Structure 1
Amino acid sequence: MRFNRMLLSTALVVVALVIQVSVLARLHLPGAVPDLVLLTVLGLAMVYGHVGGALIGFGAGLLADLVPPADHAAGRYALVLCVIGYLAGLAKPENGRLKSASGPMAVVVAAAIGTTLLYAGVGALVGDTAARHVGLVSLLVTAAVYDLLLAPFVVPGIMALARRAENDPLAEGGSGAKAADVSSGWLSSGTGLRIGGQRGGLRAKAVKARVARAGRIKGVKRL
């Protein structure tokens, strides 16, 4: 990943994690907690693609595993977000622009449900049965609803920031300079053609003037 991607992704994930731990987790909503980190990973993955989404998801999940009050094994959420980030990156638009909001909303709902199922499945493998006591169905429903309600305020802004960071000023300057060189090349070529055409026209005019002058002289001699 490029440096600007890493810097932006790290900043956004840290901010999302701080807000989630300090604000959203303290709302004591029924069922699941709105997953702002997941929405951040989804927004970045739909701009950077599946490889970038997997790397960002792993880093964000590992950071969430280590930040208090995490009560699960380290690496559990990193694995889940790595898979979700990879799959979300596959939904990246070909031209980088979204035609409608239905696609990202479907990705958010699928990611919320998939994250909850994967997290519960990995927990079952390591002996964590907390999801059974809370109720897996209620977690799935509330996670999908909360993330879907929060997504319009998060995902578009994340994607806009990611696209803006992709437009590197240095890269733009280089492409602009290259375009200017190409333009100047086209202009110089066109100017050369014009100069050549003007020279040819002047020569033709000179030849015509000489012929006319010769005709006049001959006509005078004939008279």
Structure 2
Amino acid sequence: MRVNRILLSSSLIVVALVVQVTVLARLHLPGAVPDLLLLTVLGLALVYGHVGGALIGFFAGLLADLAPPADHAAGRYALVLCVIGYLAGLVKPETGQVKSASGPMAVVVAAALGSTLLYAGVGALVGDTAARHVGLGSLLFTAALYDLLLAPFVVPGVMALARRAENDPLADTSSTKAGDISSGWLAGGTGLRIGGQRGNGGLRARAARARVARAGRIKGVKRL
């Protein structure tokens, strides 16, 4: 991952986690908590692809595992967001532009349901049965509902920032393209100069022959 991707992803992840812990978690909404961190990972994965989505999801989840007031085993949410980021990156648009909102909304709903189920499944493996007491059905419904309502305000903005960072003129790909274009300009310029010299030489030769012909006609000299 390039430096601009790392800086942008880190900044967005930190901001999303701070807002989620300090604001969304204190709303005491029924059921699940709106997962701003998940939506941020989804937006980045839809631009950076499955590899970038998996890496961003892993580090975002690990940060959430270590940030207070986390009360679960470290690495649990990192695994969840790593898998979700990888799967979301697989449906990245080929052109990088989303043609309609239905695709990202479907990804958000699937990610909300999948992350809740995966988190509960990993918890069951390590002996955490909190999901059973709260009710897995209500968690699934509220997680999908809250994330779907929050997604239009988060995912498009994250994707726009990520695409703008990809167009950074200091990025590696842009530098490579600039080098190719410069090489093409140099080659094209050399060709034009050579062609111009040849063209000018041809014009001068034709002009000289014309002068000789005029001189021959004027002086009455027979041309061989």
Same fold (TM over 0.5): yes
CA distance in 2: counterparts of 1:4 and 1:121, whole angstroms = 35
Counting aligned pairs with the same residue, the percent is: 70
CA distance in 2: counterparts of 1:215 and 1:180, whole angstroms = 52
CA distance in 2: counterparts of 1:175 and 1:86, whole angstroms = 28
| Cross-structure match for 1:142 | 142
Q: CA-to-partner distance for each residue in 1:69-123, whole Å, 9 max, x for gaps?
A: 1111111111111100100010111122211221111111100000011011111
Q: CA-to-partner distance for each residue in 1:148-180, whole Å, 9 max, x for gaps?
A: 111111111111111222223324466446524
| Cross-structure match for 2:161 | 161
Q: Secondary structure at the match of 1:100?
A: coil
Matches within 5 A, 1:53-72: 53-72=53-72
Gaps of 5+ in 2: none
**Structure 1 residues 185 and 219, CA gap change in structure 2 (3 angstroms):** closer
CA distance in 1: counterparts of 2:211 and 2:53, whole angstroms = 75
Match for 1:96: what amino acid? G
Q: Secondary structure at the match of 2:28?
A: coil
Question: Structure 1 residue 87 and structure 2 residue 87: aligned?
Answer: yes
CA distance in 1: counterparts of 2:3 and 2:43, whole angstroms = 18
| Cross-structure match for 1:10 | 10
| Cross-structure match for 2:207 | 205
Higher mean displacement: 185-194 or 18-27: 185-194
| Cross-structure match for 2:49 | 49
| Cross-structure match for 1:123 | 123
Gaps of 5+ in 1: none
Q: Secondary structure at the match of 2:71?
A: coil
Match for 1:198: what amino acid? N
Query: What TM-score do the two structures reach when normalised by structure 1?
Result: 0.91
Q: Tell me the number of residue pairs that the alignment of Structure 1 and Structure 2 aligns.
A: 220
